Amino acid sequence: MKSLKFLHPVSTWLMRLGFMLYAYTKYWQIFKPLDTKNAMFYVAFAHLLFGLLLLIGGFVKKPMLTVVSGLVIFMACGYQAYISRPFVIDFQLSALFLAGSIGLYFFAHGNQ
């Protein structure tokens, strides 16, 4: 069976929207009180800001915004997985792994 290449743009937009939905549902309650003394505030801020920039990067012709957003998302997911030791394979870690994979995809592919 051949792949359906015409669905590639739809799938990349679904990844962008899916990450933004993930970032909003997971991090908005942490970000909303604006507690700048908490380290998780900055992780939440990075996910929300660069998730939005990843979404906006889809409308821009040059891939720089998408690539930088993907890199920061990937690094923020890795940092959050690192600070949440001991590593227990659960829903939270698998969600971080998927979100980091989306960031790595856009870091590697840009707007292709």
Burial of 53 (0-12, 13-18, 19+ CB in 10 A): middle
Residue 57 phi/psi, 5° resolution? -60, -20
Contact 34, 41 (CB under 8 A): yes
In order along its 112 residues, the chain shows pLDDT tens digits of 888 999 999 999 999 999 999 999 999 999 999 999 988 899 999 999 999 999 999 999 999 999 999 999 999 999 999 988 787 888 989 999 999 999 999 999 999 8
Report pTM: 0.91
Pure H helices in the chain: 8-31, 39-57, 64-83, 91-109
What residue ranges do the domains of the chain occupy? 21-109
Task: Annotate 41-63 with DSSP letters as a single string.
Answer: HHHHHHHHHHHHHHHHHTTSSSS
Name the token pair of 75: 């690094």
